[in-house]
């Protein structure tokens, strides 16, 4: 049992070693956030105000607002963090 402890600690060190992210991760993330924001804006542009009388039609614009707003805020934070560095 005492021999298993050093092996266990070595396995933990190996498993918990830091991993460097890929070089292009920031560009890929920014591209994905930008495309989500553009898709949400396109969905909101196609929204017809006259169709909003029926509450069943509220789901898509509400989802577009949430997704677009979240992606937009994340994009702003990502760019601000890049400027700080």
Greatest CA separation found in the chain? 74
Per residue of the chain (85 residues), what is the pLDDT tens digit? 455 456 888 888 888 888 888 889 989 999 999 999 999 999 888 888 777 788 888 888 899 999 999 999 999 999 998 888 7
Question: Cβ–Cβ contacts within 10 Å for residue 68, how many?
Answer: 19
Angle at CA of residue 18, ends 12 and 22, nearest 5°: 140
Task: Tell me the pLDDT tens digit for each residue of 22-32.
Answer: 889 989 999 99
Contact 73, 33 (CB under 8 A): no
Both structure tokens of 18: 């830091």
- Residue 50, exposed/middle/buried by CB under 10 A (0-12, 13-18, 19+)? exposed
Domain limits, the chain:
23-84
Overall pTM surpassing 0.85 (yes/no): no
């Amino acid at each position: 049992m005492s021999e298993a402890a050093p092996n266990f600690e070595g396995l933990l060190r190996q498993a918990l070693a830091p991993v460097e992210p890929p070089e292009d991760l920031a560009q890929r993330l920014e591209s994905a956030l930008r495309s989500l924001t553009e898709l949400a804006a396109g969905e909101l542009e196609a929204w017809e105000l006259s169709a909003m009388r029926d509450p069943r039609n509220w789901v898509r614009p509400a989802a577009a607002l949430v997704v677009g707003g979240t992606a937009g805020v994340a994009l702003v934070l990502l760019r601000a963090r890049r400027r700080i560095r």
